[in-house]
Amino acid sequence: MEARFKSLSLFEFQERYPTEDSCVKFLTELKWSKGYSCIKCGHKHYCKGNHVEDRQCTRCRYISSATAGTLFHGCKFSILKAFYIVYYLSTSKNGISSTELSRKLALRQKTCWLFKQKVMKAMESSRSFPMIGKVDVDETYIGGQDDQAIGRNEGRKQIVVVSIERKGKGVSRMYGRVIKTAGKKDLECFMKDHISPEAEVRTDKWAGYKGLEKEFPHLKREKSEKKGKNFTDLHRCIMMLKAWLRGVHHSVKYLQAYLDEYTYRFNRHKMKEGIFENLMNRMMQKPPYTYKMIIS
Ligand SMILES: [Zn+2]
């Protein structure tokens, strides 16, 4: 049973999923793990469809494949290679670029980029575990040329709001979101999605946090000390996030997806559940995510 909690080794992975068929079979079992139900009419009985793992409703004859209606939907290459992409993304500590995936799997870089965006979609927070206890919030700028004079519009700089949950001597969790303005509305929306009203929230004196005591009665607005001394953990986390973005990904055009990837990994660094299994479940539960949706 121990093995289940460890991160999957490449050897174990290859043993578990040796062929295209074994991957499709795995997805089929995952999709209908709670029993089959036709998505058109709700009927509970099926027979085999055209392909071995397809299921056809015995009442309305609707055929459903394992990947239909999931993030695997419309995958233009083999499911086996798609599994490899999820595997590499789930086991690499710092993530892996689409160029590297392309080299490893003999797929076009753009193909890898697109599928990677889908996996990153699966990494998006479920928002069902709001932060509790000691929580710090701050905004920062990401992207753009730091050395450029303020006001010169490069159109790339983005405002990001970041929150951390402090536990003991460390940081247990982190969330981030690209926001249009650092005004109250956007900040409040982010905080309501990720922070429990009971939390002891700390922010700086920025006007955008004024009045949020209504939603967060324990909120304290502290004057930021020199070099942010009283927000050390938060600033260190933001620095590390920026370093990761610079190191692994040169373009941050789709910044939110990268924030989701980074915080997904960060929030799981101490958890014992298998990341590969967790990602697979999420991939199967989320609806299709098309190229059009990604770039819009
Ligand atoms: Zn049916």
Dist. CA 37 → ligand 1 center (Å): 8
Dist. CA 44 → ligand 1 center (Å): 8
**Domain-embedded: residue 247:** yes
Dist. CA 283 → ligand 1 center (Å): 24
Closest to 263 measured CA to CA, from 163, 117, 133: 163
Q: What is the structure's pLDDT at 251?
A: 61
What does the buried/exposed string (b/e) look like for 17-35 if buried means 16 or more CB atoms within 10 Å of the residue's CB? Answer: beeeeebbebbbebbeeee
**Boundaries of domain holding 178:** 134-253
**Domain-embedded: residue 25:** no
Q: What is the structure's pLDDT at 127?
A: 94
Dist. CA 40 → ligand 1 center (Å): 5
Q: What is the structure's pLDDT at 249?
A: 63
Dist. CA 224 → ligand 1 center (Å): 60
**Domain-embedded: residue 84:** no
Closest to 137 measured CA to CA, from 179, 81, 93, 76: 179
Dist. CA 73 → ligand 1 center (Å): 20
Q: For residue 168, give the CATH number of its domain.
A: 3.30.420.10
**Domain-embedded: residue 294:** no
Q: Which long-range contacts (CB under 8 A, 24 or more apart) does 25-34 make?
A: 25/53, 26/280, 27/53, 27/66, 27/67, 27/70, 27/72, 27/79, 27/284, 28/53, 28/55, 28/66, 30/66, 30/280, 30/281, 30/284, 31/66, 31/70, 31/284
Dist. CA 42 → ligand 1 center (Å): 6
**Do the beta carbons of residue 113 and residue 95 sit within 8 Å?**
no
Dist. CA 41 → ligand 1 center (Å): 4
Dist. CA 32 → ligand 1 center (Å): 15
- What are the structure tokens assigned to 196, written together? 């429990």
**Domain-embedded: residue 151:** yes
As a dihedral over the C-alpha atoms of residue 23, residue 27, residue 33, residue 39, rounded to 10 degrees, the angle is -150
Dist. CA 34 → ligand 1 center (Å): 17
**Domain-embedded: residue 189:** yes
159: β partners: 141, 179
Low-confidence residues of the chain: pLDDT under 50: 1-5, 147-155
Dist. CA 249 → ligand 1 center (Å): 45
Closest to 26 measured CA to CA, from 82, 104, 76: 82
Dist. CA 43 → ligand 1 center (Å): 5
Q: Number of structural domains, the chain?
A: 1
Q: What is the structure's pLDDT at 145?
A: 61
Dist. CA 64 → ligand 1 center (Å): 10
* Residue 217: partners with Cβ closer than 8 Å, 6 or more residues away: 197
**Domain-embedded: residue 173:** yes
**Domain-embedded: residue 176:** yes
Residue listed under structure tokens 């995510």: 289
- What are the structure tokens assigned to 14, written together? 């290859």
Distance separating alpha carbons of residues 108 and 123, to the nearest angstrom? 23
